[in-house]
Structure 1
């Protein structure tokens, strides 16, 4: 796996029961996955020779992020390295402009959009629709709210262009909530779909995921799952695909983002599904039969743990575990920094209000924002 973050850490964990030998390309020995994987290569994923040496002896190479240069992946594929998802699929998670045009051509509903050249062009884009505000995104590299701006006029639109990279303009969707459809697809076309979840964002960062999405009609849930499976097949995705969606106030679904790797909106599956997203990603990239995605409980809630001013989270375990023996804590081995994702907790049960409160209390206690 290329990338040493928490997604690689949890994917490695899922491969252990299968006896999978896991090799990691990590930026440093201190990265989340590098702390627990035995076979670690420290190197720069942007360097072709590093990637080439790392791939030797690997049956398959997969990723915990989308940032490996496409030209390097094409070179590896030309040399016979098995890459999953392949570069032609991964490009749609790397480049938002390419993704939008491919989905539009496939008839997948998306927000109104186009590449814009400068602030004046943003103003023209706004005038072509309902005016400002408009959402601007760098076509590459953005995540967790980074590389995304909501601008109210042409003057505010100047900031995204200072980086000198292409900018995508999108209408600001008046959505009721954000959803995510997580699916996994194997090389021979087998696919499984997890329950559609509600994803609650705070300051552009995922805070809470509720599985299944409360109050979502069976019709819309089926549409979201079918849409995600269609996208996976259309783009040739192998492995896990997360399709982030807007549910509009008039009951439509629009695709917001794609991620071709395990995803924050699927972390609940570690404890809430028969087969986790991580285990199914491993199965898919190795072309093994996929596991059952059905939920184990009526409700499962994933609550992200963000860093605060209280660095010693380990001492907080005593309170959290004693208060809630059913609580599942997953920490990433990261240094605690304010606002940084350092772990998550999963709670589950039959009463959604209770499940949400238990998750919120644990995350806040671990962060140090509450003390009792």
Structure 2
């Protein structure tokens, strides 16, 4: 039997780490990358450099691939449908991915299946934003372009009608949402295969700084067990209702209601996700390995944690470019530290890697992750 070939569209760090997870299985990877120096292009053997927005490039790339998957959600929907019409296995498929590409479509579908969401609607102009605010608790409100946003981009918190003008300059529809007074942000990560098998990872706490994920704690500390189970079941139901194949991250707000804690769905991502990076070292089967299994319709692996606590801290670029020079200190200080770097040029604020720590003492595990990420970035020098 010939081992299958996975065609990965997008050459970022998610593709790099998914490729790594497929190596022990003997799975072959073919990569469509924007440039030959992208994160995954540095490590995958079979690289095609091309534009994912060009249909003929996609069709040519798909030749010889048993399945196509993605490390981002930006491939034009009409191209995905054309590939499917050609008989190519696209996972997740276009019917699922449209909910990750278009926040308006996502909100409408979540409403239809009864998933709890912040109050929202599509708004036409700044005056309509003011009306939306008046329909609820007033300003501030959150505005999002329905397509193209990530890591805080395409998202605005506006305090009045005048501030609401900026999002409309992008020329795409704008979604208004209430600014949720949340307790914290959570994420429920699940994986689903074409034959319907699904697994759920522990619900995690995701700590954001300036709209970018900074730290993930697995499992979320002091989370009500019933709410944790509810969040996992909600994510599994969304995966089934939207016919997701592969990894699905459901970003959540934890809110306090008069009758107790609850969750609201914030965003969806249909690919491996930053909130699941802890699973590389903290779970029996990582999100990347299970995504590989799912798109190939193999039995899914055990999602249970290996340790009581695992903490992931993102390494962001700063003014200290020689991160390799910091390894000696970090590794000597913490032999249990796991460092994952993406092969990217260091630029201020850019995600260039992450670290994972694990153990029985949460305070100690958090300190170790924070110190290593800070030292690699150069904000900590001892």
TM-score range relative to shorter protein: over 0.9
Question: How far did 1:249 drift?
Answer: 2.4
SS in structure 2 of the partner of residue 257 of structure 1: strand
Question: How far did 1:217 drift?
Answer: 1.0
The residue that corresponds to 1:318 in the other structure is 328
Work out which of the residue numbers 109, 112, 115 in structure 1 matches 2:119: 112
Work out which of the residue numbers 260, 281, 296 in structure 2 matches 1:271: 281
The residue that corresponds to 2:74 in the other structure is 67
1:36-78 residue CA offsets vs partner (Å, 9 max, x unmatched): 0000000000000100000011000000000000000000100
The residue that corresponds to 2:211 in the other structure is 204
The residue that corresponds to 2:358 in the other structure is 348
SS in structure 2 of the partner of residue 157 of structure 1: helix
Q: Following the alignment from structure 1 to structure 2, what is the Cα–Cα distance between the partners of residues 58 and 235?
A: 25
Work out which of the residue numbers 105, 123, 132 in structure 1 matches 2:130: 123
TM-score by length of 2: 0.97
- The reply on whether 1:227 has 2:234 as its aligned counterpart is yes
SS in structure 1 of the partner of residue 340 of structure 2: strand
Aligned residues: 372
The residue that corresponds to 1:245 in the other structure is 252
Question: How far did 1:370 drift?
Answer: 1.2
- The reply on whether 1:45 has 2:52 as its aligned counterpart is yes
Question: How far did 1:252 drift?
Answer: 1.2
Work out which of the residue numbers 262, 267, 280 in structure 2 matches 1:257: 267
Question: How far did 1:165 drift?
Answer: 0.7
TM superposition outliers: structure 1 runs of 4+ over 4 Å: none
Tell me, which stretches of 5 or more residues in structure 2 are unaligned? 1-7
Work out which of the residue numbers 133, 138, 141 in structure 2 matches 1:134: 141
Q: Following the alignment from structure 1 to structure 2, what is the Cα–Cα distance between the partners of residues 370 and 268?
A: 22
Q: Following the alignment from structure 2 to structure 1, what is the Cα–Cα distance between the partners of residues 117 and 157?
A: 17
The residue that corresponds to 1:150 in the other structure is 157
The residue that corresponds to 1:284 in the other structure is 294
1:303-349 residue CA offsets vs partner (Å, 9 max, x unmatched): 00000000010010000000000000000000000000000000000
Q: Following the alignment from structure 1 to structure 2, what is the Cα–Cα distance between the partners of residues 79 and 370?
A: 53
- The reply on whether 1:11 has 2:21 as its aligned counterpart is no
The residue that corresponds to 2:101 in the other structure is 94
When the two chains are superposed, the root-mean-square deviation of aligned CA atoms in Å is 0.4
Q: Following the alignment from structure 2 to structure 1, what is the Cα–Cα distance between the partners of residues 304 and 154?
A: 35
SS in structure 2 of the partner of residue 137 of structure 1: strand
Work out which of the residue numbers 1, 4, 9 in structure 2 matches 1:2: 9
The residue that corresponds to 2:349 in the other structure is 339
1:192-245 residue CA offsets vs partner (Å, 9 max, x unmatched): 000000000000000000000000011000000000000000000000000000
The residue that corresponds to 2:180 in the other structure is 173
Work out which of the residue numbers 363, 370, 381 in structure 2 matches 1:360: 370
After superposition, residues 290-301 of structure 1 pair within 5 angstroms as: 290-301=300-311
